[in-house]
Chains A and B, each alone.
Chain A
Amino acid sequence: MMRIALAAVSVLVLAIMPLLAPWLQFVLTLAIAKGFAALGVAVLLRAGLISIGHAMFFAASAYGVAFLARAGINDLALQLIVSVLCAALIGVLAGLFLVRYRAIFFAMLNLAVSMVFYALCAKLYGVTGGTDGMPIPIPSAFGVVLSEPAFKSILFYLSLVLMLLVGFCVHRYLQSPLGQALSAVHTNEIRLEYLGVPVWAVLLIAYVISAALAGLGGAIAGFAIGRVVPEFAFWTASGHLVLVAVLGGIGGVPGAFIGALFLELLHTVAVTVTDAWNLIVGLALIMVIMFMPRGFYGLIARKEGTAL
């Protein structure tokens, strides 16, 4: 109960923040977008699998939106749904190959596949615009053509609503036998096989869900920025997602969003203070990882446990 109340208050605060400080709207939209992608990474982390390639799905979905716009499909909902499905489909294709691997091999193969994707985005100039990327024009919402400020506001509140809806669905999935089997894969894969469970299928489903989540984040980020570039898929972007997931904590769905909000806000503030903003961000991360090994969500869960 306390957890639900805390979530409700947090979402309310997030909803009000752009009204008080309009410049925060873009930062928060981007944070939520990265939160979705980090949640995808966190789903796999439950099974002990670290993906250093999930920025590929993030970028694929954003490119999907750009291609749809180029093809004359300008409806926000349609662009969002189709681009997420594209990311999920790529997730199926990549997952069929990748879920057979574990540990460092899984991490490195994800990295390799994502870097191939990055190279294709950067080099196929005629198709993807090369390093210049592709523009993502402002779409219409339910047939209504919007001004940029109106669209950006709609995008922010839509992201917030999606965070609640998708977050709830992912929570239900993680509580289900299929979701619980992920940590069982991490602990004892052999036992799971001897229980008649096809571990590859458990992991493939998780992989596709995580790809779709990263895709949702990528589409939102593409809309917010108005352009997609190959750097969306670069390995540092994938590393960033892992960092956000670990920082927020993999114990629960809110962790990824908390981590993304913290990092995005910290980055925004640090940039205004010094050119060496990386130093501030790095130090903050070291502190969090040293003193909160289960991430921010672990801290909240522990506090709640103490309160009970």
Chain B
Amino acid sequence: MKQPILEAKDLHVAFNGVKAADGVNLKIYDDEFLAVIGPNGSGKTTLLNICTGYIKPRSGSVHLDGHDITRLTPRAIARRGVARAFQIPQLFSDQRVIDNMMLALAARNGLWSATQPLDTPARREEAEALLGLVGLADDRLRISSTLPEGHRKLLDIAIALALKPRLLLLDEPTSGVSALERFPLMEALMGALRQRKITALFVEHDMEVVARYANRVLVWNAGTIMAEGRPDEVFSDAQVLQRVVGVA
């Protein structure tokens, strides 16, 4: 039987009485692109926060390759091969794009080299290759805070990819990105994920993006999973259309 890479069991989380997760179970398997959709405030980002150790659930557990990671820190979970890209890109904003990447690549090996410079030919080459993969090669010498939002998102994703993760968690990769940039961004992202054989779970509001790129969709509503399945199945569900997509 196929083992999930990540499994959440009976998650319960509440904030001031509002349930963000109420007995949620989910699994994600190797090479999947799992989309999580749902109304604002339904608890989608909380799911990512739990899976990356930022929030501890009141009860329930999260397992990575069968090992319980529920009480681990974000740092420890990252070192086990789970990377995260954020809704608001988390960059080293006063540094150049290439320096952001080289630092991320150095972090993969633990940073513990105090005598070798950060900027080595091998590291620079790998950083440039990754930037090329997400379409940021021309921006490599720019200060990251000066990039347009779409490119900031891509850099955030490239930083996460630098860790060579097995599982990438993406929080609304297309939010704040113009309509023109949205699909090129997703194409660049999906190309990078396929090339590196990375499993991804992404929270998304844009249903066109979900329909085009996800191979499984999970509908999150009021802390519970309301529906689950292939995009065509989920988007033909009348309840999902009414409550989440907003079509009566």
Contacts and interface: CB of A to CB of B under 8 A. Distances in A.
Chains A and B bind each other? yes
B169 to A, nearest CB: 10
Interface string B89-103: 011111100010001
Given A195-B163, A196-B78, A183 B114 contact: no
A132 B151 CA distance: 63
B118 A176 contact: yes
B95 A187 contact: yes
Contact of A184 (B52, B76, B84, B92): B92
A84 to B, nearest CB: 17
Nearest to B52: A194
Contact of A194 (B84, B95, B117): B84
A177 B105 CA distance: 10
Given A177-B103, A196-B75, A172 B91 contact: no
A184 B231 CA distance: 40
Contacts of A172: 114-115, 117
Nearest to A189: B90
Contacts of A179: 114, 118
Contact of B78 (A181, A183, A194): A194
Contacts of A183: 92, 94-95
Given A175-B118, A178-B114, A196 B79 contact: yes
Contact of B159 (A176, A180, A195, A198): A195
Given A181-B103, A187-B94, A198 B113 contact: no
Contacts of B114: 172-173, 176, 178-179, 205
Interface of B: 52, 73-76, 78-79, 83-84, 90-95, 99, 103-104, 106-108, 110-119, 159-160, 162-163
17 contacts: A172-B115, A172-B117, A175-B118, A176-B117, A176-B118, A177-B103, A178-B111, A178-B114, A181-B111, A194-B52, A194-B75, A196-B76, A196-B79, A196-B108, A197-B110, A197-B111, A202-B111
Interface of A: 172-173, 175-181, 183-184, 187-188, 190-198, 202, 205
